[in-house]
Structures are given as C-alpha cells and as structure tokens.
Structure 1
Amino acid sequence: MDKLLEKAKKIKIIFFDIDDTLRLKDPAFMPESINEVFEKLREKGIMTGIATGRNLFGVVPEVRALKPDFYVAINGAYVENAQTEEVIFKNTFSKTLIAEIISWLETQKSEYSFVSSDSLRISKWTDVAAEAIGPIYAELAESPDYYKTHDVYQMLTVSDHDDQLVLPEHLKDKIRMVRWHPYSSDIVPQEGSKAIGCEKVLDLLGLTAENMMNFGDGLNDRELFDFAGLSVAMEVSHPEILEKADYVTDRVENDGILKALQFLKIID
C-alpha cells in the first residue's frame, strides 16, 4: 500500500483506454463519474490522455467532451495534442508492406480493413465484419484499394477463423498481430504500441515514465503496463493485464476509475 501511494505522488499525466475502461463498448455506456474524474484531475493540475486502438474518427463524442490533453490513437501510431490539434507523431505503413499483407490475407481467405487517422475502409463488409467492427465504427465503406491513395497507420484482419491466422516468416520482422475480438486482430508495426505513442508525449512534456499512470484492460495495453510508472487494470481485464497491473479496480460501470483514483489519493 505505501509503495503504491509513493508511486501515485509522482503522477503528472494519466492515460485512459476507451473500450471497457472509460466506457462500456456494448452497450455504449459511460458513467457520470468519468466526467467527475476528468474535472477533478484538471483541478489538481494532472494532465490526461486517451490511449486507444481506435483512430480519431472512432473517439466518440462523450470521450471528446472530456477534453483530454492528448490523443494517442491507433495503438500509438498517431499522436495528437488534443487542445491544438498539432500532430506530435505518426507512423504509417508503406504501400509495399500493405500490398504484402493483403497478398497474405487473401491466401488465408481473410478480409481486411485499413485504418487512417480519421477514417476506415474495408475490403468487403460481411456479417463477420458487422459483428466485430460494427459496434465501434458502424458499417464501413468498401474500398480494397484505399491504401493506394491514403496514409494507413494500421490494418485489421476480419474473419471467422482469425485465431488460425499465423504470420508468414517474411512478415514476422515487420508486423505483429494483436487480437482484440474473436473475429479480428490489429496489425501493427513490429515495434509499434501505445507505449511508444505515450513516450512521445512524455518526451514533449519533459516527463519520465514514473510520472505517468494508465488505465486499461486489453492486450493492446500490454506494453503500457510494462512502461508506465503506475498501471491500473479494470476488473474485466485480460488475465495477462491483470497479472501486470500495480492495482486492479472495479468495472467501469461500477465507477472503477473514480474508486481507484480515490484509493490512491490522487483525487478526493
């Protein structure tokens, strides 16, 4: 307990995942306590950031209304100052790499989606896509050649056999897959992660990892839980995230974030 409270005293910025952390993905619900949390953090002079696998288009209005200081989007591939809209960092896939990924996915009979900074497109909208992607982004327009004319920061696999997809050797040193749904995985750069995006923010602010706290629940938060000075997992988190957490709090619908920050004496 004393060690946790000592860590908490050093926190100057807190990053929050969206889905099932700030807000229930299904049904779409964010408790009023989240607004209270952000207001109290501002009063304390503690900065806030959103660290999400979503792109900016997918950051829903109620999350934008919280007025965070930074967006670390697309699993760290796109970082923006939320107040000035200045792009701090971006990491796009080359068109050659995307063509290689598509060629592989086509042999696996998997559809795919492109993620740009503020929009998404999909090779083909199917019932499987509707189940995996629909609750977050609604129906996507079909555009298998979208990458030829737009910057792409991330791709998604979309198939009912996603757990059987295995990267071929020629792609393993370039990309990795992070499953976020039974029917879909994020395809991210081999060295890409939310942690890298958050580190860019810390560098800008002249802060270190011990000044940073994060809340999360999924495997795309894994690197953040290794990086941040203080990490809090939601009760519903993946077992690996629960194991890495400094502290485990209640579910978001039970005001878990507010409870954790009060327990750690960061806010009243």
Structure 2
Amino acid sequence: MAYKIVFFDIDGTLVNENKEVPSDTVEAVRALKANGVEPVIATGRAPYFIKPLADQLGIESFVCMNGAYAVYRGKPVYKRVIPKESIEALVNLAAGHGHSLVFEGEHAYCSDRAEHPFVTESVLSLKVELPGHDPEFWKANDIFQMFLHCEGHEEHLYQGLVPELKLIRWHPKAMDVLPAGGSKAQGIEAMLERLGITPSEAVAFGDGLNDKEMLEFVGLGIAMGNSHQELLPYADYVTGHVDEGGIRNGLAKAGLIA
C-alpha cells in the first residue's frame, strides 16, 4: 500500500515525558516530508497548545481537541461543537461534587475556578500556560472540548448521567470531555474526505486511550512501545518507545522512509 498521509499523536508519541521531541523523530518527520508524504498532528490538545511543536517539525495541518477541530494548511475543514445544554448539565453536576471544569474554545480556554490544585497539576504537566478564569466562558463561546478534574475513584459519579458526553482519562486528576461518539477518527475522516484520500491510504501513530478509534480507522495503525496496554489490541503494529526510535522505526515499517 502506498500511504499518502500520516497522523501523529503528540504526548507519548511525538514528545517524551519531558515534552521534548527526540532528535531521531525530528529527522524521521523531515524524511517523511521529503518523500512527499503529508505529516499531520492528531491530538487531544487545543490548537493554541501545539504551535511551537508544529513549527519545529514543519507540520502545517492538525486534528485537535480529540477530533473536534481540524485544520489543513491553515484552513479549517471540520468543527464539532459541544451543545450548550450538555455543557450546562455537566457544569451543574460537577459543581455539586466540587469538581472543576476547563472549557476549550477555538482561540482560548478558561477554568470555572480561579485556582484549583487539580487544574494546576494536570495542565502544567502539558507544559503550557494555565487557563484563564471565566465561569461563564462556555456561554459566550463555542466549546469543542472540556477537562473534568476528578480522580479515578470518582468517575462513577458521572457515568450515564450526561449521556451526550464521553469521558476519557488522560491524567490522574483530569479527563477529556467530548460529545458522545466523538474521537480523533472523526476529524481525520473529515480531512481525508476533503483531500480525496481513503482511510486505507493513511497511517496513524498513538499511545493513549484516546487513540483507539484513530488506529482502527486508518489503513495502518501503529502503537508506540510505551503505549497504554488497552490500546495495543487496536494497533496493526507496535513500534519502539518514543525515546528509542519509535517514530523512525514505525515509518520505516510502513515503507515511508528508508
């Protein structure tokens, strides 16, 4: 199969635990571009979190906020907004449990609390700026994704109570909140349709629970050696650790670089 496009998760895939891109990954992405294959970032992060990385790797296109917002070479190709009534239901539920929410818009993101230790710990782990404070931010802006800050033993407090929403844990103190059925695969599908590329002509790399649908959807799904164990059944191939040539080896396995 002659693959035409490759989607890369960020955390644990393009960057390691120190949020650094290994030098062999930089070289591998450059070689991929030189061979005429399009690299695209596919991440749970918002677009305002990824510009330095995209610039470093020379990547112009991305699928962000777990598939809710996709841009191809500067032009939006897909937007999926969370309905206000679903947000309001979660706001009321989280308030009752004393849990903080962060609302992610197209150009900015804000927390419902000025200071919350779970927000600080989880967001700073991404090595990005902390959100602004505006409990009403969701009312005046389109929201594509939210963070719900609670611990694993508290997840049952939300199960089935807002059926229009989907929760995916990404940090011991935080979960992504997206529309039910939402995933990176939706944004990828929209981008591929716009480009006239079939899923079988695409490759994807990931390591986390939010990468399941993406790896299943494309022609070749590659899990990193450092992946969450629950991701592995969804992959066609398991490559090396992010710090041990995982991206380079995976692209070579796909026949995309030497």
TM (normalized to structure 1)?
Answer: 0.90
Which of residues 2, 5, 11 in structure 1 aligns to 2:3?
11
The 5 A counterparts of 1:224-239 are 224-239=214-229
The 5 A counterparts of 1:38-187 are 38-81=29-72, 83=73, 85-124=74-113, 125-136=115-126, 137-159=128-150, 161-166=151-156, 167=158, 169-172=160-163, 174-187=164-177
Q: Is the 8 A contact 2:118 2:174 kept in 1?
A: no
Q: Percent identity?
A: 31
C-alpha RMSD over aligned residues: 1.5
Whole-angstrom distance in 2 between the partners of 1:163 and 1:43: 47
Unpaired runs of 5+ in structure 1? 1-8
Q: Is the 8 A contact 1:163 1:182 kept in 2?
A: no
Give the residue type in structure 2 aligned to 1:147: W
Give the residue type in structure 1 aligned to 2:92: S
| Alignment correspondent of 1:255 | 245
SS at match of 1:107: helix
| Alignment correspondent of 2:23 | 32
SS at match of 2:221: strand
Unpaired runs of 5+ in structure 2? none
Give the residue type in structure 1 aligned to 2:129: A
Please report how far the alpha carbon of residue 98 of structure 1 lies from its aligned counterpart in structure 2 after TM superposition. Answer: 1.2
Please report how far the alpha carbon of residue 139 of structure 1 lies from its aligned counterpart in structure 2 after TM superposition. Answer: 2.2
Whole-angstrom distance in 2 between the partners of 1:169 and 1:61: 38
Q: Is the 8 A contact 2:226 2:242 kept in 1?
A: no
Q: Is the 8 A contact 2:11 2:19 kept in 1?
A: no
Q: Is the 8 A contact 1:162 1:185 kept in 2?
A: no
Residues 96 and 41 of structure 1, relative CA distance in 2, 3 Å threshold: same
Whole-angstrom distance in 2 between the partners of 1:74 and 1:233: 20
Give the residue type in structure 1 aligned to 2:214: L
SS at match of 1:262: helix
Q: Is the 8 A contact 2:3 2:203 kept in 1?
A: yes
Give the residue type in structure 2 aligned to 1:207: I
SS at match of 2:214: helix
| Alignment correspondent of 2:207 | 217
SS at match of 2:63: strand
